[in-house]
Structure 1
């Protein structure tokens, strides 16, 4: 894939992700307004967490499916490709159905073990069990979409997979606006199942246009399926540990106070905003290219592409994390502060978000590094690294929650993410014989310096506006708007002075595009 096409695909994904995130903010604002930081919200967040923990199987499937199916596209005919895809689809659906049945049967024990704080209130506990059983039904649509999105991405079709968040959030918002008052959190659980169905359905037309159709194939002895499963297992363990860390956080949060789980999840949603919009988009597009370079034994281009992607992620994530940390209270107030979500909820969520911000940077780089390992057919290293991260996270949770409450849980997550990301960099450096860590560190230092200068300016802007206009919704909107414009301009000037290659390349390409548009 050429650099221009890579950037073009990245921009498509970023635009669709931004639309999805805007709708997600509307959804979360409605959740906060309708249910607040209450046990109803805690129950929903916990049950959704159970689903997300199990969806890591599907994520592992998509991740390992892409390079294998890419080989099928290059070397096999359409009939063989279709047979392989259908076999994976049918086997996955069968196993997912078994997991759903087991989950529904043992939902009581899932809640008892992983949400110990809910046992004190019988109503909360029984509602948690019931809603968890409803939400588990979503898994069948998640498993189907994992295969279909893998097929589409193997063909370099990114539009539909990137639009899934948009379509699901439309379903959520529709329910929250028109039916939340009547059917409450139980109805919202059913709406979640429909949202996952919609995510799957949006991929079907393009899937069929690519020449794929359903066949009743079920061959457990297929060699390609065996290869897929062998590669999947470490990826599933690796990706499930990220959800396991969140699950561990929720475990400790249920023991603090009512609304602690909600504060944790609202902070996590804001923290993952920039990461999911930019870092995930870049990783999604770069991954097939990295796999292609390795297949062609072009290690030089592999390293160049990887380092360029890491630096671009840092260019975006570092200033975003700094801005989010400084503007956390105005941002939370704008999005959530209404209805049942009061000033106390803003402060608790803000405290959690502050210590989450460093993880934003680490997650962005770590996700790309994991993809780099997967592209060289090494799924074991990210798995071991992730397991170590979970252990670090849980140990620090136990220590820090006593002194910092919810903020301690997010601080533990950030420390764990930073340690494991640094470890991945050094391991990959040894594995591919030279990743030019010195250059990466130099670039990171320059970006950090520019972001710190921007952060100081934003802090002064924030304080000046509050001092003269007081604390209100209009004031918070003004703070965020003025900080985004002036802070962005300050950062661009500062980063331009440091002469970072990736920034120069992006600005040069933008100038060429503008000149071409002007001439045409």
Structure 2
């Protein structure tokens, strides 16, 4: 793929991801308005968390499928590689169906163990079991979709996979606007399953256009399948532990008060906005580059690409974390504070969000580090660090939850993320015999100084806006808009003056194109 095509694809992918996030905000605002921060949303978020925990298997499937199928596209005839695709679809579907049936049968025991707070009320418990069983049906569609999106990405087709979130969110929004009053949260669980089905459907036309179809191929002795499943194990464990970390936090939250899970979830949604739009997109683009350089044995260029990626992530995540921390109350007000979502819920969410913000930076850097380890065929180190992270999180939760409640859970998550990211950086630096840590630290200091100054300006803009405008909603919206414009301008000027290389090189590229 040429440089211009990569840039074009990256821009389109970013736009589609941003569209998905905007629709997700609309969806979350509607959920807050329709259901509030109550046991109903707690139950839904708990069940959704269980589904996401299990989708780590699909993530591992996609992650390991892509390099294998890419190699087949270069070396194997069409019949052989097509058979591999059909075999993976069928085998993964059979395994997923069996897992889903077992989980549906034992759903109430899952609630007893991981959502024990729901067991205190028979109505809440019954609702949680029913919703969990409905939403577990999503797994089969997610499994098939993971293989098909892997096929598309192996062919350098990124648009449909990037549009999946937007498509499913349209389904949720339609339900919340027109059907909530009639079918309630149970109907929304069904709508969630339909949303996952639509994520699969949107990829099928391109899949067929590439010349693939469906055949009932089942070959458990296929060496490539054995190789793929062997590679999957560390990736699945690593990703599962990360999702399990979120699940553990929700489990702790069920024992605080009804609505605590929802407060935790909404704080996390705002916190991961910039991360999911930019960090995930950058990591997706960086991965093949690092893999290619690692395969060539070009250590110097590999290290340069890695450091540039880390610095680029920090260039976006650090100011985003500072801005969200300062504007946490206006953001929660604009996005969630309406209908059944009370002022008390908004305050709790804003407080929890404050302690979440630094985790955004750690998440972004961690994703790049994970891709770096994967690119040099080391899947065990990220897996081990995931276990370290969840252990740290659980220990801190146990000691801090009674003092800080939901905010304690978010602080524990942040501390865990920061510690494990530092450990991974040290390990990668050792593995690669140096990755220009001084360059990273130097950039981090410049970016942090610029972000803090920007944060101070945003703080005063917010105070003035909230004091000058009587309407809390209008004041919050005005504060966010003005802060974004002036804050962004301030930050860009500062990082330019401080000569942050990743930003200045982008400016030079733009100037050269104009010339």
TM over 0.5: yes
C-alpha deviation, 1:507, in angstroms: 1.7
Cα–Cα, structure 1 residues 92 and 36, in superposed 2: closer, same or farther, change >3 Å? Answer: same
Q: Deviations over 1:179-219 (max 9, x none)?
A: 01100000000000000000011111111222222121111
Q: Mapping of 1:151-300 within 5 angstroms?
A: 151-300=151-300
Q: 2:231, 2:386 → 1: CA distance?
A: 16
More displaced stretch, 210-219 vs 444-453: 210-219
Q: 2:34, 2:482 → 1: CA distance?
A: 30
User: What's the secondary structure of 2:340's corresponding residue?
Assistant: coil
Q: 2:197, 2:433 → 1: CA distance?
A: 45
C-alpha deviation, 1:78, in angstroms: 1.7
Q: Mapping of 1:315-394 within 5 angstroms?
A: 315-394=315-394
Q: How many residues align?
A: 515
Q: Deviations over 1:284-320 (max 9, x none)?
A: 1111222222222222222222211111111111000
Q: Deviations over 1:46-72 (max 9, x none)?
A: 000110010000011111111121211
Q: 1:502, 1:93 → 2: CA distance?
A: 44
Determine the structure 2 residue equivalent to 1:75. Answer: 75
Q: 1:12, 1:370 → 2: CA distance?
A: 24
Q: 1:379, 1:470 → 2: CA distance?
A: 54
Q: Deviations over 1:78-124 (max 9, x none)?
A: 22111111111111001000110010010000001001111111000
More displaced stretch, 95-104 vs 59-68: 59-68
Cα–Cα, structure 1 residues 363 and 12, in superposed 2: closer, same or farther, change >3 Å? Answer: same
Q: 2:289, 2:131 → 1: CA distance?
A: 41
Q: 1:499, 1:220 → 2: CA distance?
A: 56
RMSD: 1.2
Determine the structure 2 residue equivalent to 1:456. Answer: 456
Determine the structure 2 residue equivalent to 1:49. Answer: 49
Q: 2:355, 2:384 → 1: CA distance?
A: 25
1:9·1:285 contact (CA, 8 Å) conserved in 2?
Answer: no
Determine the structure 2 residue equivalent to 1:489. Answer: 489
Unaligned runs of 5+ in 2: none
Q: Mapping of 1:357-506 within 5 angstroms?
A: 357-470=357-470, 472-506=472-506
1:314·1:447 contact (CA, 8 Å) conserved in 2?
Answer: yes
1:450·1:494 contact (CA, 8 Å) conserved in 2?
Answer: yes
C-alpha deviation, 1:224, in angstroms: 1.0
Q: 1:123, 1:81 → 2: CA distance?
A: 51
Give the TM-score normalised by structure 1: 0.97
Q: 2:490, 2:452 → 1: CA distance?
A: 11
Q: Mapping of 1:123-162 within 5 angstroms?
A: 123-162=123-162
Q: Deviations over 1:329-366 (max 9, x none)?
A: 00110011110012111100001110000111111111
Q: Deviations over 1:392-418 (max 9, x none)?
A: 011111111111000000000000001
Cα–Cα, structure 1 residues 199 and 285, in superposed 2: closer, same or farther, change >3 Å? Answer: same
1:31·1:176 contact (CA, 8 Å) conserved in 2?
Answer: yes
Is 1:97 aligned to residue 117 of structure 2?
Answer: no
1:78·1:211 contact (CA, 8 Å) conserved in 2?
Answer: no
Q: 2:429, 2:3 → 1: CA distance?
A: 23
C-alpha deviation, 1:433, in angstroms: 2.2
Unaligned runs of 5+ in 1: none
C-alpha deviation, 1:471, in angstroms: 5.1
Q: Deviations over 1:427-471 (max 9, x none)?
A: 111212221111111111111111011001111111122222245
Q: 1:11, 1:306 → 2: CA distance?
A: 21
User: What's the secondary structure of 1:212's corresponding residue?
Assistant: coil
User: What's the secondary structure of 1:405's corresponding residue?
Assistant: helix
More displaced stretch, 4-13 vs 38-47: 4-13
Give the TM-score normalised by structure 2: 0.98
1:6·1:286 contact (CA, 8 Å) conserved in 2?
Answer: no
More displaced stretch, 136-145 vs 59-68: 59-68
1:356·1:413 contact (CA, 8 Å) conserved in 2?
Answer: yes
Q: 1:87, 1:96 → 2: CA distance?
A: 14
Q: 1:312, 1:471 → 2: CA distance?
A: 38
Q: 2:298, 2:207 → 1: CA distance?
A: 31
Q: 1:305, 1:206 → 2: CA distance?
A: 31
Determine the structure 2 residue equivalent to 1:119. Answer: 119
